[in-house]
């Protein structure tokens, strides 16, 4: 089995090296081939250079450096397109670079996806937990997720999760040219298409750990885009 992991980055020089080390340590022995695709939004802290140095060490790392900051959703579009066009992978993973997602959990996701089209590492199913968020952050997150779930009619508890696994044949059916969001609202648009196309997913518990290094990339423009996207789904089937 061949696995590709797409990781968007923006100013992640403090977190990326240890994450890549852990990914290859935990997952490489379990698969025939592991390839990591790092999509960097022209980080001023030199993240792309660090990624290229990691590529020299681990070999199976591709670095896509964009000319400017283009957003999380746009990064995933570029990363997924690269995987589908240039790599021969059975499974495609998306995850954050800030250690909020534990690569060790990919073992369970690989086992579970056999009977499904995609897997969501969910913060809202029994057995999951969130570390490092205060009460206000948890409430805000829950409200945003509920709005997205209801407006887009998505039967996924954690529809904003950024830790996901797809079978390649599932990802190939996503029409990325029809996805308008270039920010984190991209996550909702993908799930909406999966639902419309009749794909079946499974949510598995995850331990989400708030970043301890670097800064969150969530800004007001991301929130506005998310709200507009949710409103656009109202009335759609």
pLDDT in tens, 78-125: 999 999 999 999 999 999 999 999 999 999 999 999 999 999 999 999
Neighbouring CB atoms inside 10 A of 163's CB total 24
Inter-residue contact 92 to 80 (CB < 8 Å): yes
Q: What are the tens digits of pLDDT across the range 145-188?
A: 777 777 778 889 898 899 999 999 999 999 999 988 887 788 88
> Which of 52-56, 127-131, 199-203, 219-223 shows the lowest per-residue confidence on average (mean pLDDT)?
219-223
Query: pLDDT value at position 155?
Result: 86
Residue predicted with more confidence, 142 or 56: 56
Q: How many CB atoms lie within 10 A of CB 235?
A: 7
- Position 237 scores a pLDDT of 56
Please check whether residue 115 is in contact with residue 153, taking contact to mean a CB–CB distance below 8 angstroms.
Answer: no
Quick one: average pLDDT of 4-23? 96
Mean pLDDT of the residues in the chain: 89
pLDDT, residue 185, reads 82
Q: What are the strands, taking DSSP E only, across 83-199?
A: 91-94, 118-122, 129-131, 164-167
User: How far apart (Å, rounded) are the C-alpha atoms in residues 165 and 151?
Assistant: 24
Express each pLDDT in 195-228 by its tens digit: 999 999 999 999 999 877 656 555 556 666 666 6
Choose which CATH entry (3.90.550.10, 3.30.470.30, 3.40.50.150, 3.40.50.300) describes domain 2-233: 3.90.550.10
Range scoring the smallest mean pLDDT among 10-24, 44-58, 126-140, 186-200: 126-140
Give dist(CA 68, CA 100) in Å, integer. 24
> Which pLDDT does position 215 carry in this prediction?
60
Q: Going by C-beta distance under 8 Å and a sequence separation of 6 or more, which residues neighbour residue 232?
A: none
pTM of the model: 0.90
User: Cβ(37)–Cβ(68) under 8 Å?
Assistant: no
Contacts of 72 (CB under 8 A, 6+ apart): 8, 162, 182, 183, 184, 186, 217, 222
Q: What is the pLDDT of residue 167?
A: 98
């Amino acid at each position: 089995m061949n696995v590709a992991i797409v990781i968007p980055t923006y100013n992640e020089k403090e977190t990326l090296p240890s994450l890549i080390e852990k990914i290859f340590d935990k997952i490489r022995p379990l698969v025939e081939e592991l390839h990591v695709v790092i999509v960097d939004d022209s980080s001023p802290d030199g993240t792309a250079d660090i990624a290229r140095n990691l590529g020299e060490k681990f070999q199976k790392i591709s670095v896509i450096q964009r000319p400017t900051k283009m957003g999380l959703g746009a990064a995933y579009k570029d990363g997924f397109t690269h995987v589908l066009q240039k790599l021969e992978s059975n499974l495609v993973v998306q995850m954050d670079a800030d250690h909020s997602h534990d690569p060790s959990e990919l073992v369970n996701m690989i086992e579970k996806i056999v009977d499904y089209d995609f897997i969501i590492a969910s913060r809202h199913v029994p057995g999951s937990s969130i570390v490092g968020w205060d009460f206000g952050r948890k409430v805000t997150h829950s409200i945003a997720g509920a709005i997205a779930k209801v407006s887009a009619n998505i039967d996924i508890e954690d529809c904003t999760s950024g830790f996901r696994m797809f079978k390649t044949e599932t990802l190939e059916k996503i029409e990325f040219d029809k996805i308008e969001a270039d920010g984190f609202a991209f996550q909702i648009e993908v799930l909406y298409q999966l639902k419309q196309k009749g794909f079946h997913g499974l949510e598995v518990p995850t331990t989400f750990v708030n970043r301890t290094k670097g800064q969150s990339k969530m800004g007001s423009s991301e929130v506005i885009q998310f709200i507009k996207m949710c409103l656009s789904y109202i009335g759609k089937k």
